[in-house]
Amino acid sequence: MEVFWFIPTHGDGRYLGTRDGARAVSYAYCKQIATAADELGYSGVLLPTGKSCEDAWIVASTLVPATRNLKFLVAVRPGLTLPTVAARMSATLDRFSEGRLLINVVAGGDPAELAGDGLFLSHDERYALTDEFLEVWRRELQGEEVHFNGEHLRIEGGKVLYPTTQKPYPPLYFGGSSDAAIEVAAEHVDVYLTWGEPPDQVKEKIDRMREAAARKGRTVRFGIRLHVIVRPTEEEAWEAAGELIQHLDDETIRSAQSVFARMDSEGQRRMAQLHNGDRTKLEVSPNLWAGVGLVRGGAGTALVGSPENVAARMKEYAELGIETFILSGYPHLEEAYRTAELLFPLLPLKAGGGQEKEKGPSYISPFGEMIANSQIPVSKS
């Protein structure tokens, strides 16, 4: 498996639903998280998208030179960007990052937000547009001059002059739970993403996706988006989960849930259905906690527990076919360290994904503070 982290460009802090414990998400702070993730051995980072976020493309372009190995999963938004423009942007950032760009295809799930951006298509129309967008985007990045006349897009002589570093183009990641989304993913994407639903529900989606791709003569890989609250003991982890939402009141939860209810995203509906706004029924599967989704849109579940139990749950998802785990935790800087330190030694990580640490004393790998200014500490475990 490989593990990604998250750049919280829509805000960060110690608690949900309050200004208490909040911190400014500045360039310096995002850079701290990115460089930490790079140094700790995360394979990549996801940058969120939407009106509540700093622009993902600009953030990624500023963080690329601050990192060495980290890949950046950045959104393209069909309907908000034209495919030829998006293809040129992708080619440039892929070349300038030396092949560290990944593309997250986001069709959008909030009609009110999309209206503010000037997009007024229905749910299925957006996926029809996404299908056309990806056909043009892929063909242009493979060197074609594209002439295309579809229901939503018309392109005459579209061409990208500068090639990408990655061939045939930066890998396409995509999340969507509806039938329309599954069909688009089956036709175009490399990695299908799901939010952190219970394993039986994830298995059902993976099976649907595999069957749809097979009908088109294709295969896809799979990833999952989760929060994580891992502590040395089970008791400490669940205490931390409770602390994260300790400032939430019923009115704040109701207000957030009313916003989610207006969305036409099938994935968001499935997230909300896990808890239905009820904070007394949040452990929806062993070590899978839906508390984050009380007030956060999108990924709303966290793996909570000791390192051994969280690693065991991740391995259960891996047995279903999940290869990429996109994790996050509050606050994101500290939790990047905690997650790597507690979980990475227990996971079968892909080369370069955090497990390639030298064993024994090393002046490069971390060993703690010197004892009496002269002795390198040894592990007591």
Alpha-carbon distance of 169 to 152, in angstroms, equals 23
From the first residue on, what is the mean pLDDT of each consecutive set of 10 residues in the chain (381 residues)?
97 94 95 97 96 96 98 97 98 98 93 93 96 98 98 98 97 95 97 96 97 98 98 98 94 89 85 82 94 91 98 98 98 98 95 47 54 73 64
- DSSP element (H, E) containing 201: helix 199-215
Q: Does 373 reside within a domain? A: no
Are 34 and 73 a contacting pair, CB within 8 Å?
A: no
Alpha-carbon distance of 223 to 200, in angstroms, equals 15
The residue written with tokens 């242009």 in the block is 140
DSSP line for 249-295: -HHHHHHHHHHHHT---HHHHHHHHTTTT-TT--EEETTEE-GGGGT
How many domains are there within the chain? 1
Alpha-carbon distance of 310 to 288, in angstroms, equals 9
**What is the number of H-type helices and E-type strands within the chain?**
12, 15
Alpha-carbon distance of 4 to 167, in angstroms, equals 22
Q: Does 322 reside within a domain? A: yes
Q: Residue 71: count other Cβ atoms within 10 Å of its Cβ.
A: 23
Q: Does 80 reside within a domain? A: yes
Alpha-carbon distance of 219 to 187, in angstroms, equals 10
Q: Does 253 reside within a domain? A: no
What's the confidence (pLDDT) of residue 174? 96
Are 293 and 275 a contacting pair, CB within 8 Å?
A: yes
DSSP line for 139-164: HHHTTPPEEEE-SS-EEEEE--SS--
What's the confidence (pLDDT) of residue 304? 98
Backbone angles phi, psi at 104, to 5 degrees: -105, 110
**In terms of Cα–Cα distance, which of 188, 207, 187, 221 is closest to 322?**
221
Tokens of 53: 């976020």
Task: Assign residue 341 the CATH number of its domain.
Answer: 3.20.20.30
Q: Residue 338: count other Cβ atoms within 10 Å of its Cβ.
A: 18
Q: Is 232 exposed, middle or buried (0-12, 13-18, 19+ CB in 10 A)?
A: exposed
Backbone angles phi, psi at 2, to 5 degrees: -125, 150
**Counting every residue, how long is the chain?**
381
Tokens of 297: 């849109």
Q: Does 272 reside within a domain? A: no
Are 108 and 119 a contacting pair, CB within 8 Å?
A: yes
Distances (CA, A) of 43 to 204, 265, 327, 362: 27, 28, 11, 23
The residue written with tokens 């279903």 in the block is 320
Alpha-carbon distance of 222 to 194, in angstroms, equals 8
Backbone angles phi, psi at 224, to 5 degrees: -140, 140
Alpha-carbon distance of 59 to 361, in angstroms, equals 37
**What residues contact residue 112 under an 8 Å CB cut-off, 6+ apart?**
262
Q: Does 95 reside within a domain? A: yes
**In terms of Cα–Cα distance, which of 75, 55, 5 is closest to 326?**
5
Are 229 and 329 a contacting pair, CB within 8 Å?
A: yes
Q: Does 329 reside within a domain? A: yes
Q: Does 357 reside within a domain? A: no
Cis peptide before 168 (omega within 30 of 0): yes
Are 12 and 5 a contacting pair, CB within 8 Å?
A: no
Range of the domain at 25: 2-222+317-346
